[in-house]
Structure 1
């Protein structure tokens, strides 16, 4: 078998046939990007930026809450009858703490890591 070789003229023609569409596609993509960028709204100015309230930053509030009880009904509630249930502040605001021997990882109820 003889190795395939291209003549210099054929190689140059092949480069032009493949290269010109690639270069044309790149020029088209850049022109499209410039056109899209011109149609975008301008960037916001400094006065358009959000400001802190007069009283300073809003403080995070942490509280324990309990769900409101459902009113008693003689028959069972069906899913389409359920509404968003509210909640109220719990009378016990102490944080729950982990105790040794309590639930293991992922709520397995096991002894946990020893």
Structure 2
């Protein structure tokens, strides 16, 4: 800082005036944002009343169904035929499996790649 700027700020109070104007500008911005926020909020729809809230179905809560699913078979191409492109395959559907036992990992296996186990040896 030069001596001239120190003398200007000290003698005339210009620095105090600048800080006062900046403070007024900050207050104006905060007040404007509050005003704008209340205008936006007044245009929003009202909160739903308790009777408009979703209710349980008459039969009670819906419970999870656990079943084994197996995929449909991928169509095989005949010998010498043209292979199917991904665009010619449809969404592969699944169906209920006849086997009701859940698949389990083999003993000694970690169950996932990189899971930290020793794996099956």
Deviation of 1:106 (Å): 3.3
Give the corresponding residue for 1:47: 51
Structure 2: which 5+ residue stretches go unaligned? Answer: none
Alignment: residue pair count: 111
TM-score (norm 1): 0.81
- Structure 1 residue 94 and structure 2 residue 98: aligned? no
State how far apart, in whole Å, the 1-side matches of 2:104 and 2:33 are: 60
| Match among 60, 73, 85 for residue 92 of structure 2 | 85
Larger mean Cα displacement after TM superposition, 23-32 or 10-19: 10-19
Instruction: State the SS of the aligned residue for 1:92.
Output: coil
RMSD of aligned residue pairs (Cα, Å) = 2.5
**CA separation of 1:59/1:45 partners in 2, compared to 1, >3 Å: closer, same or farther?**
same
Q: What does residue 19 of structure 1 align with?
A: 23
Give the equivalent residue in structure 2 for 1:70: 74
